Amino acid sequence: MPKVGTITHAFADKKKAPATGQTDYFDSTYPGLALRVSSKGRKVWTYVYRFNGQQKRMTLDLYPAMSVAEAHDAWRKARDLVQAGVDPSQIETRASTDFASVFEEWMQRDQSKNRSREVVRGSVTNHALPRWRNRPITEIGRRDVLDVIDAVADQGKPIAARRLYAYLHRLFQWAISRGIIEINPMSGLDKPAAEVKRERVLSDSELVKVWNAADRLGWPYGPAFQMLILTGARREEIAQLKWSEIEDNTIRLSGARTKNGEPHNIPLSTAAWTVLDKVMRIANSDFVFTFSGHVPISGWSNAKRDLDDFAVITDPWIIHDLRRTCATGLQKLRTPLQVTEAILGHTSGSRGGIVGVYQRYSYDDEKRAALEAWGAHVMALVQ
């Protein structure tokens, strides 16, 4: 049983797997604390102590999932329990390597800057977490993953299944990089059916139905749907809209609020201002669309179902189709492609590559004119 001084991250990282069995490296500064390295390269913090005259060992957690500093804290807690006459191994704790714990750590460390992190959380929470919540992630195998993904695909949701595949694959790869697992159970696993590109555009008559249904839906989702129609903005850009982001008849979004990380200006047409003028203002709240005043609206799925009940449109459609309908309508009104893409905030297409590097013209005047024409067209349809 080799003894070292204080175990550091550098020491723990350098230790290679023994040819056979396992080796314990005891930290002389923290009596009983050891880093156990197995022949498979697995590194585990353990605590060896005496209780009621018997020598015992308890596992603290995997390294590097548990850092050196965290191992020291765990050692102090266990030692204090022994000194108080309590066997720390009998204290019921949830291992931090169960799937739910690893998932939460992954969300915090790997997904914190992902603008779609709530979509990721919802997918894994709805489909994987109910089955694997308390299971050690090391025990989740290929068959378990297939069962979860196939269950989503069998519901007629190939796109959701494919995205869940991507989220879980990234999670397991991250767990490998953290030393939590040694093998990705999804390695070599085929992706579900290919995602079908959506090309749904609402007809003029369908657009009128949606607009009138939004009127019936009322505050706050009704006007929010109408703003999506008139601006071509993304759902969350409107859902989280703040009054402080509206200046000089323009919605001014910072890079933190856009999908591509670039600031984006959306001119407000006369029709859009007519919708905003009717919006209910909540005292001391900066959010345009909110119930409480403290947080923006969410729960779009329920609002969409209510809207569908009022609109009665035969062919299925999704909220993002409003953005595509706006883009298509602009093109029908002879709006140049570059202006349409500027309105949508696209940095690809005609504004991608070397063109995007050198072509920095904002098209603000052209965008305003195009959205004014689009708003007048929508109002003419509705009226």
In a domain, 185, yes or no: no
Find the Cα–Cα–Cα–Cα dihedral 90, 94, 98, 99, rounded to 10°.
Answer: 160
pLDDT tens digits along 212-259: 999 999 999 999 999 999 999 999 999 999 999 999 999 999 988 988
Is the pLDDT score of 4 beyond 80?
Answer: no
Number of domains forming the structure of the chain: 3
Same domain, residue pair 272 and 329: yes
CATH number at residue 271: 1.10.443.10
Residue by residue, what is the 3-state secondary structure of 232-289? CCCHHHHHCCEHHHEECCEEEECHHHCCCCCCEEEECCHHHHHHHHCCCCCCCCCECC
**The residue to which tokens 């989702």 are assigned:** 221
How many Cβ atoms from other residues are within 10 Å of residue 171's Cβ?
23
In a domain, 288, yes or no: yes
Same domain, residue pair 125 and 258: no
pLDDT value for 287: 95
Structure tokens at 282: 């909540």
In a domain, 323, yes or no: yes
Same domain, residue pair 235 and 357: yes
Q: Which of 72, 90, 108 is the C-terminal boundary of a domain?
A: 90
In a domain, 280, yes or no: yes
Q: Interhelix angle for 337-344 vs 364-382, to 10°? A: 80
pLDDT tens digits along 104-137: 889 988 998 888 888 999 999 999 999 998 888 9
Task: Tell me how far apart the alpha carbons of residues 56 and 67 are, in angstroms, rounded to a whole number.
Answer: 23
Same domain, residue pair 256 and 135: no
In a domain, 210, yes or no: yes
200 touches 321 (CB < 8 A): yes
Q: Which of 90, 114, 149 is the C-terminal boundary of a domain?
A: 90
**Average pLDDT of the segment spanning 283-296:** 92
Same domain, residue pair 320 and 232: yes
In a domain, 20, yes or no: yes
Task: Tell me how far apart the alpha carbons of residues 238 and 360 are, in angstroms, rounded to a whole number.
Answer: 25
Same domain, residue pair 258 and 135: no
Q: Which of 95 and 229 is assigned the larger pLDDT? A: 229
In a domain, 171, yes or no: yes
Is the pLDDT score of 200 beyond 60?
Answer: yes
Domain region containing 145: 99-177
Q: Which of 50, 66, 90 is the C-terminal boundary of a domain?
A: 90
In a domain, 193, yes or no: no
Average pLDDT, the chain: 89
pLDDT value for 261: 84
